Structure 1
Amino acid sequence: MNIGLGLPVTDIDTVLDWARRADAGPFSTLGILDRLVWDNPEPLITLAAVAGATARIRVQTEVLLVPLRDTALLAKQCATLDRISGGRFTLGVGVGGRADDFAAAGREIGSRGALMDRQLADLRRIWAGERFSADAGPIGPAPRHRAGPAGPEVLVGAFRERALARVARYGDGFIGAAPPVWLGRLFRSVEQSWRARGRAGRPRLVAQANVAIGPARVVAEARAALTAYYSDPDVASHMLAGLLTTGTQLREAVAAYAGLGADEVVLYCWSADPDQVDRIAAATAGWEAAV
């Protein structure tokens, strides 16, 4: 199982330092979250810069809120990032649920699921080189791969059964931000719908966990950032309870995700301290012993 890192979004000036350190280490992926009404960097622009500052590590949205975006422009942006990164880009997608994000984007939050279904179908058509509409021709550039399904790898983030079915309909895999005790059921549901739809092979399964490894100030910074991000007190309390702050907790969680069949776990860091990259690399070394 691969281990990736989620880039911190509390200090944009540290992002490229994080990226270069992670690229030189054992990590497989650098992920980044998406919000509109919050003090985070725009994901696709940030990942383009990260791709240019690195040589081998993959870059991934976790997850991009597709209903907030124009479909045609998003298709072009993703294909461009896919090409300039040398095929290292993964598009993680989700519907979102923050009313202020949708208000700022001028979109109806109640129709976000149906809208994203149409958008994902349209993205695949555009990447396959089809005309956008009767009035508009194909939208380039072409992604690196145009064969079944066309475009960069797409991971769908979801929790409900209807939403999980999008993985088999439009995606290449699933990404879930949940503790192991919950994620196993989601993984199995995704696999079942994948088989029911007659998809070949198996979906890629990616887990996400929150982590802060370091001295007390690092953990305190991470807890403050999580509390600010999850404005709902109940959700924030749940997220804080699941924050991994010791090497033992981290290795046990990674081993648990591996036991569920995860192909990758992305450790999302909520403190901007770049030294976390080295600490997490050291803390996860030998995680197999915790199985």
Structure 2
Amino acid sequence: MKIGICLPYMKDGLSRDDYLAWFQRVDDGPFHSLSCGERVHGPTYDMRVLLAAAAVATQRVKITPTLYVLPMHPAVAVAKEIATMDILSGGRFEQVCLGYGGRAQDYAALHQTMRGRYQRMDRQVEDMRRVWAGEEIIEGAGPIGPSPTRTGGPQLLVGALGPKSIARCARWADGLYAWSGNGEQAELANAFAVAETAWAEAGRERRPYRLGGFWYSLADNGAQRLHDYVYDYLDIAGPEIARAMAESVHRHNADAVREALDNAEAAGCEEVFLVPATADLSEIDRLSDLLARR
């Protein structure tokens, strides 16, 4: 199972030097890939800018956006961004995760509507692939570049939760990004089972790529900081939901993180992203040590 790590994009006050240190540590570590999520509200850094910086500052690790809330953005602009970052990385944008998003406030802040977002994303995926194939979007205007490093562009994974959403995306997605905040085997395995069925019913010849993810902390005072991170992350959904989720996560020591990794592997993950609760470099260093002993 390949191991990836998410950049600390949710922490306020991080500097250029902080991110350069993260890029270097991840690239030098035992990691297959790095990722970054997309949020509008809160002290979040822009996913595209961080990943573009990572594309230039690293040499080895794969770079995977997790994820674009695609219906909030123009598809052609996203296709152009991804192709540009792919070139800047030297072809390390092999996969991109797309999702519908569930934060109405983020849609509103970008003057977009959540209404019709499922149908909209189907059309957007078609447009992105047309851009990467060099087809005209506007008749007579010529193709929109640049061309990505691989024919047809990167693999597209979907971050969808419900069976209906997964079934809808099975027509075009190359895999599923399944999330279990506490790294539980049953949650991940159930999501992959739904995807396997949906892919088969859609007549897809290849099985879906299976990517998982969970929150963790190996920093000092990790239990409290993991709790606070998850609460802050979900506070926009209301205090009851935020409190319930914050109290349900406990991957804040080596044994607990090791168990979550075992869970992900047993669930069938081909790759798993660990999302740190802090921006401490100890999150990378201690995780690297754990992986070396695993």
Q: TM-score, normalised by structure 1?
A: 0.91
CA contact (8 A) 2:186 2:267 kept: no
Find the partner of 1:38 among 21, 26, 42.
42
Deviation, structure 1 residue 119? 0.8
Q: Give the whole-Å Cα distance in 2 for the aligned partners of 1:145 and 1:278.
A: 33
Q: Give the whole-Å Cα distance in 2 for the aligned partners of 1:94 and 1:269.
A: 21
Look up the match of 2:288: 281
Deviation, structure 1 residue 170? 2.0
CA contact (8 A) 2:185 2:266 kept: no
SS of 1:210's equivalent? strand
Q: Give the whole-Å Cα distance in 2 for the aligned partners of 1:151 and 1:238.
A: 39
Look up the match of 2:268: 261
Q: Cα 1:284–1:239, aligned 2, differ >3 Å: closer, same or farther?
A: farther
* Stretch of structure 1 that moved more, 67-76 or 224-233: 224-233
How many corresponding residue pairs? 283
SS of 1:169's equivalent? coil
Q: Cα 1:7–1:153, aligned 2, differ >3 Å: closer, same or farther?
A: same
CA contact (8 A) 1:207 1:257 kept: yes
Find the partner of 2:115 among 101, 110, 118.
110
Q: TM-score, normalised by structure 2?
A: 0.91
Q: Give deviations 1:162-215, integer Å, cap 9, x for gaps.
A: 211244322221111113222211101111222233323322111100000122
Look up the match of 2:239: 233
SS of 1:3's equivalent? strand
1:171 to 2:166 alignment? no
Q: Which one-letter code corresponds to 1:117 in the other structure?
A: D
Q: Which one-letter code corresponds to 1:132 in the other structure?
A: I
Deviation, structure 1 residue 63? 1.4
Deviation, structure 1 residue 223? 2.6
Look up the match of 2:53: 49
- RMSD, aligned CA: 1.7
Structure 2: tracts of 5 or more residues without a match: none
Q: Give the whole-Å Cα distance in 1 for the aligned partners of 2:292 and 2:261.
A: 11
Q: Give deviations 1:62-95, integer Å, cap 9, x for gaps.
A: 1111111111111111111112112212311111
1:154 to 2:156 alignment? yes
Identity of aligned residues (%): 34
CA contact (8 A) 1:158 1:164 kept: yes
Q: Cα 1:242–1:223, aligned 2, differ >3 Å: closer, same or farther?
A: closer
CA contact (8 A) 1:219 1:271 kept: no
1:71 to 2:75 alignment? yes
Q: Give the whole-Å Cα distance in 2 for the aligned partners of 1:118 and 1:162.
A: 17
Look up the match of 1:120: 125
CA contact (8 A) 2:170 2:199 kept: yes
Q: Give the whole-Å Cα distance in 1 for the aligned partners of 2:244 and 2:36.
A: 21
Find the partner of 1:202 among 204, 207, 227.
207
CA contact (8 A) 1:127 1:143 kept: yes
Q: Give deviations 1:251-288, integer Å, cap 9, x for gaps.
A: 1111111111110111000201012101011223344x
Q: Which one-letter code corresponds to 2:164 in the other structure?
A: R
Look up the match of 2:255: 248
CA contact (8 A) 1:175 1:208 kept: yes
Q: Which one-letter code corresponds to 1:73 in the other structure?
A: A
1:185 to 2:190 alignment? yes
1:8 to 2:21 alignment? no
Q: Which one-letter code corresponds to 2:254 in the other structure?
A: G
Q: Give the whole-Å Cα distance in 1 for the aligned partners of 2:244 and 2:97.
A: 23
CA contact (8 A) 2:4 2:271 kept: yes
CA contact (8 A) 1:250 1:284 kept: no
CA contact (8 A) 2:3 2:33 kept: yes
CA contact (8 A) 2:167 2:195 kept: yes
Structure 1: tracts of 5 or more residues without a match: none
Q: Cα 1:263–1:88, aligned 2, differ >3 Å: closer, same or farther?
A: same
Q: Give the whole-Å Cα distance in 2 for the aligned partners of 1:165 and 1:83.
A: 32
Runs of 4+ in 1 over 4 A off after TM superposition: none
Q: Cα 1:138–1:201, aligned 2, differ >3 Å: closer, same or farther?
A: same
Q: Which one-letter code corresponds to 1:236 in the other structure?
A: A
Look up the match of 2:33: 29
